[in-house]
A and B are shown apart, each in its own frame.
Chain A
Amino acid sequence: GAGVSQTPSNKVTEKGKYVELRCDPISGHTALYWYRQSLGQGPEFLIYFQGTGAADDSGLPNDRFFAVRPEGSVSTLKIQRTERGDSAVYLCASSATGQGYGNTIYFGEGSWLTVV
């Protein structure tokens, strides 16, 4: 696609529920990233995929968070047993490669998750 597409745009869920957030990167981009942006803060790194594999998941806050990218394009961020502290905007981004000069990352518009 022309840009990074994320769905849903907004999601309200009850505490304890399971949610999935989807990201469709720019066509041909091998690298995909998830960031989390809490209110009044800058984005914080969660996980990075190179192709189908998670090359770095060091930013995932705990084992309730999991992400997959089974075919190397679309990715899903999964959150189990949601807590109110999970409320944030979840930003997905992609880039042509994962490193090196000129590795500019392009962000989607994010999924705004509210846990009530």
Chain B
Amino acid sequence: AQTVTQSQPEMSVQEAETVTLSCTYDTSESDYYLFWYKQPPSRQMILVIRQEAYKQQNATENRFSVNFQKAAKSFSLKISDSQLGDAAMYFCAYSTSGTYKYIFGTGTRLKVLA
């Protein structure tokens, strides 16, 4: 069975600094997708970034980028130039080849210090 593990329950970063959130996963599939979702206090899960497993190039969305290590089954999120609005829970998620069933990790709470 596929699993997603986030080993950092909480992280803090100074405003304008860079922080990296960790995620590892376990799967026997070769074709899958990985996601990072942000959940602010409003509870709405907002897609931050998506990575297709067959793509070697790491995905980037403005200040957000990932370090995807397929052999190590690692998928970390780097947030550059952290802003106060980045404070939220961040969830790593996995789905097989674009299917509907996402498997989420337990989340990392990110605090941004002014």
Chain A residues proximal to chain B, CB less than 8 Å: 31, 33, 35, 40-45, 48, 55-56, 59, 89, 91, 93, 95, 98-110, 112
Contacts and interface: CB of A to CB of B under 8 A. Distances in A.
Contacts of B37: 107
Interface stretch (B57-65, B79-87, B101-109): B101-109
Nearest to A111: B43
Contacts of A45: 101-103
A89 B43 contact: yes
Given A56-B101, A100-B98, 6 more contacts: A35-B102, A41-B107, A42-B4, A42-B107, A98-B100, A99-B99
Say which size band chain B's interface belongs to: 20 to 34
Nearest to A91: B45
Contact of B45 (A31, A95, A98, A107): A107
Contacts of A110: 43-44
A29 to B, nearest CB: 12
Contacts of A103: 98-100
A102 B106 CA distance: 24
A53 to B, nearest CB: 13
Contacts of B56: none
B30 interface: no
Contacts of A56: 100-101
B26 to A, nearest CB: 15
Contacts of A93: 45
Nearest to B37: A107
Interface in B37-55: 37, 42-47, 50, 52
Contacts of A107: 37, 44-46
Contact of A109 (B4, B44, B98): B44
